[in-house]
Amino acid sequence: MYQIYLLDAAARELADLDKSVRQRIIQRMKWLAENLEDLNPVALRGDLAGLYKFRVGDYRVGLLDFAGQSLNQP
């Protein structure tokens, strides 16, 4: 299982969201940590190469960095 770390700014923004939205995002992040091996995340390009996008509904939760771990990409 992967671990998820939030930047301080991200934690503050998460705390400012409506409770139901915040809970949905937290649940999705937990699910992601448990199921990442089964997913094919979309890699970003350009200045953000090496990062992956992650969205929950209308929210871009953040840019993911898998800390140098290799993911099998199709």
Report pLDDT for 49.
80
Q: Where are the domains of the chain?
A: 8-64
Report pLDDT for 70.
42
Report pLDDT for 61.
67
Report pLDDT for 29.
85
Q: Two tokens at 48? A: 């953000």
Give the C-alpha separation, 74 to 72, whole Å: 7
Going residue by residue through the chain (74 aa), what tens digit of pLDDT does each one get? 777 778 788 889 999 999 999 999 899 888 888 887 787 777 788 888 877 777 788 877 665 666 544 444 33
